[in-house]
Structure 1
């Protein structure tokens, strides 16, 4: 067996690196685009199964929730096998989920087939693809991430009218089959994800071995087995305050952001917009978001402003856009709202994986993304039903969007509580490192082990001071 070659640091591009970006771009088109465009089926499901708005919303909320909540599982599988293998498996599972949905006779059937099975498949494609970008890029991470995640905007632009067309032409059952075939193309994207081995990976594994004392080695077989099971999930990340604070802020942002993708089309129809133009509102937002993600991913790498502050600007604008939606009582007004919503969404989305990498380190980015997405998952589970219940109580969607704005504003306040600042300090002469100082946790990227100094004797990803 050929010996694995360990790169000194992420190559910041190269043919393989940019092919990973291309694969991740198309994964965002079909995975995130489909999840965020699935609200087009919402009105159809509600009419066919004669259920309340809150109950029907659970289909999309379970789909989005499972997509994120199973991310630690996807990260663990990626650590045990490879991101490429996990992504290909996700393409198969998501397609099977929608094929099974063809036979649905009850809403409960769709909760399982669309929400759980398809959501799991989407999850297995989503977080490992972002982790691969974090492993191939360092200084140009935000730029590469911005290019990849703008695929979401393309998906939101193209898929809602496509879904509505498929429903009109083939019915919702036939539409689900065709969308399943679309998701199966995730297997092709997974084939582009060639694994890369970094020196920090080798250092991390060595640190784990050195950390085992004589007493640890004498533990019972059951405890040792449990430790081996939990190790790929990187549960120790949850002990670090800055990482948890960011994840809580992300939960509140997603809680507000999840509402629009399920209830915007229904809100537009409620104020008198026809079905097809109402679905096209998500497409308009997708166009704006795609351009914004590409532009702001590049701008955030120019280092004119801290990436954390850049992120805050985006989510603040998102909250303001949610407030404006109920006042857009005409189609033109809603179009304007969607342009601004997409623009501000495009500011902070390219930085999600960048900030996770900032707080977890490159060698643990799969686990970091997994746990960060768990927090977002809880938001996707709660957001749409809460908005649906507000509609049931008020008879309109105005308070749903006001609630979304409140949640997102709260996420900014939580992020301000994070003691991690944008100041940087050196670890000492000769190290050449400028780590981020985060609540007693030093986050390093690709720092080689140096057994001749005290610095290299600890885990290069986290060191508690």
Structure 2
């Protein structure tokens, strides 16, 4: 039995006169051709990177397009196929493959899928509305003297870090119990955390109560809700995943517009205690949104069954052995060291000299970030769903670099309007990162490993978040101003981008040395 295989890098082997667009994704083979031995040979083609994306052949930047457009062609000699006991079997390298009919989940990309996207948007409204606005409460929380800025932002860091660090666990729970159950459970746990933060310290803020309630329980609940809200989109969308992600994450941006102002009004009227009761109610109501995360539809398909089934553990091992994934995860961990710092500290900074802004003026700054973020997420969500999605990594790197430069430059601001301009620029930067982050992970690891890869990348980011805002608060307490805080934030942004600039070439080298294997379940060619 003969078997031949070959790999083509980029689209060099495709006739430029006959192809204008290269559609990446699952393809049915062309008609069988006869090989030299007289048997029937089929060609099976799949993308090793941009699955389900359409990339223009004549790219604006050809060398970037080439770095991303790797394909693998597998030639299958029909002589390799045998019929044993009425079953269609084929020797696929070291694995014996059996084809059979089975119910397989598929992404409808329409209908109920858009309802799920809207539910994800509303969940993200609450999640990031709280994450980007809890800094508005800093002055009220620390004025009693029982809580320092470092302690309060340490609680916030624990909440943000826990939200992401449990990502791998949430992915596994979602696969086992469904993301509807996981998201509703998260709503209940986070609501309980905010309620206990108030109930255990009704008079003055208690560090221990806030650490366990707002920090730990709030982080666990938000982690269950957040990861479910993102990963569930990959179950319902394929071709429209970038657009759906952009729409869903717009809820985060809208929440960061509205929640700072609402919390500002509530804390002035009912104090920090009223604010925490309000936040508990918002989290509990989010269970309604999670109820829309139903199971994706299924259909009968021909699937391959390997005698050696690849498990989640082997998928994890493959990711851990990938330099591309390590660099992407490390860069993500570095960027989030400063990701939430401007949102958490900008309002407090405006209240201090030389700005001496009013509380109303100060609370507008996080809302400006949110407004800019909203517009940016819509625009970049559309961009990510277009033919230019191939440049998602490049767009993100440039944006993060500019964000670092702008953050360092904001240290030299002397007027309120300068802070407002910086808030707008920063909103655009995080819009790019939030809209394209999951798209980049999807492109680099593929659909089959997306759930696991996204969860693991969140773990790395979560570890960093445990230190990000807390370290920024310690710098503020130690130096007495915000200059060092914003310097270090900008430096981490730039370092993260520098790590990711060579990523396309690293990925190309990695895949050329070790072509990706087929998943354990795939459509029959």
Give the structure-1-normalised TM-score: 0.83
Indicate the SS of the match to 2:216.
helix
1:288: which partner in 2? 372
Indicate the SS of the match to 1:48.
coil
Indicate the SS of the match to 2:294.
coil
1:372 Cα deviation after fit: 0.9
**CA deviation string 1:68-110 (max 9, x = no partner):** 1111111111111111110011111111111111123320111
**For residues 170 and 235 of structure 1, do their structure 2 counterparts lie closer, same or farther at Cα, with a shift above 3 Å needed?**
farther
Point out the structure with max Rg over C-alpha. 2
**For residues 231 and 273 of structure 1, do their structure 2 counterparts lie closer, same or farther at Cα, with a shift above 3 Å needed?**
same
Q: Aligned partners of 1:296 and 1:443: how far apart in 2? A: 32
State yes or no: 1:154 paired with 2:254. yes
1:257: which partner in 2? 339
Q: Aligned partners of 1:354 and 1:200: how far apart in 2? A: 28
Q: Aligned partners of 1:341 and 1:249: how far apart in 2? A: 18
Q: Is the 8 A contact 1:33 1:152 kept in 2?
A: yes
Instruction: Choose which of 226, 251, 269 in structure 2 pairs with 1:169.
Output: 269
1:274: which partner in 2? 358
Q: Is the 8 A contact 1:420 1:438 kept in 2?
A: no
Q: Aligned partners of 1:438 and 1:172: how far apart in 2? A: 57
2:182: which partner in 1? 86
2:495: which partner in 1? 410
What CA RMSD, in Å, does the superposition of the two structures yield over aligned residues?
2.9
Q: Aligned partners of 2:507 and 2:523: how far apart in 1? A: 25
Q: Aligned partners of 1:201 and 1:281: how far apart in 2? A: 52
**CA deviation string 1:171-227 (max 9, x = no partner):** 1112111111111122111111121167899969x45x6248xxxxxxxxxxxxxx9
1:140 Cα deviation after fit: 2.1
State yes or no: 1:440 paired with 2:514. yes
1:301 Cα deviation after fit: 2.5
Q: Aligned partners of 1:398 and 1:374: how far apart in 2? A: 29
Q: Is the 8 A contact 2:338 2:469 kept in 1?
A: no
1:388 Cα deviation after fit: 1.6
Bigger proportion of residues as helix: 1
Indicate the SS of the match to 2:516.
strand
Instruction: Choose which of 308, 312, 330 in structure 1 pairs with 2:393.
Output: 308
Where does structure 2 lack aligned partners over 5 or more consecutive residues?
1-100
1:258 Cα deviation after fit: 2.3
Q: Is the 8 A contact 1:296 1:350 kept in 2?
A: yes
1:11: which partner in 2? 108
**For residues 439 and 62 of structure 1, do their structure 2 counterparts lie closer, same or farther at Cα, with a shift above 3 Å needed?**
farther
Question: Map of 1:201-280 to 2, 5 A cutoff?
Answer: 206-207=305-306, 210-211=308-309, 231=313, 234=316, 236-271=318-353, 272-280=356-364
Is 296-305 or 192-201 further displaced after alignment? Answer: 192-201
Number of aligned residue pairs: give it: 418
1:117: which partner in 2? 217
Q: Aligned partners of 2:150 and 2:250: how far apart in 1? A: 30
State yes or no: 1:336 paired with 2:421. yes
**CA deviation string 1:417-456 (max 9, x = no partner):** 43556879xxxxxxxxxxx948735388998355x9xxxx
2:89: which partner in 1? none
1:49 Cα deviation after fit: 4.2
Indicate the SS of the match to 1:306.
helix
1:455: which partner in 2? none
Q: Aligned partners of 1:176 and 1:150: how far apart in 2? A: 24
1:143: which partner in 2? 243
Where does structure 1 lack aligned partners over 5 or more consecutive residues?
213-226, 425-435, 453-465
1:330 Cα deviation after fit: 1.7
1:108: which partner in 2? 208
Is 404-413 or 34-43 further displaced after alignment? Answer: 34-43
1:165 Cα deviation after fit: 1.1
2:468: which partner in 1? 383
**CA deviation string 1:378-400 (max 9, x = no partner):** 22111112212222232110111
Q: Aligned partners of 1:5 and 1:278: how far apart in 2? A: 55
Bigger proportion of residues as strand: 2
1:33 Cα deviation after fit: 1.7
Q: Aligned partners of 1:362 and 1:201: how far apart in 2? A: 17
**CA deviation string 1:305-350 (max 9, x = no partner):** 5111111122122212212322222221111111111112212211
Q: Aligned partners of 1:175 and 1:115: how far apart in 2? A: 16
Is 438-447 or 106-115 further displaced after alignment? Answer: 438-447
Q: Is the 8 A contact 2:107 2:297 kept in 1?
A: no
Q: Please list every run of at least 4 consecutive aligned residues from structure 1 whose deviation after the TM superposition is greater than 4 angstroms.
A: 197-204, 230-236, 419-424, 436-439, 443-447
State yes or no: 1:53 paired with 2:137. no
Q: Aligned partners of 2:297 and 2:447: how far apart in 1? A: 11
1:41: which partner in 2? 137
Is 194-203 or 23-32 further displaced after alignment? Answer: 194-203
Is 358-367 or 252-261 further displaced after alignment? Answer: 358-367
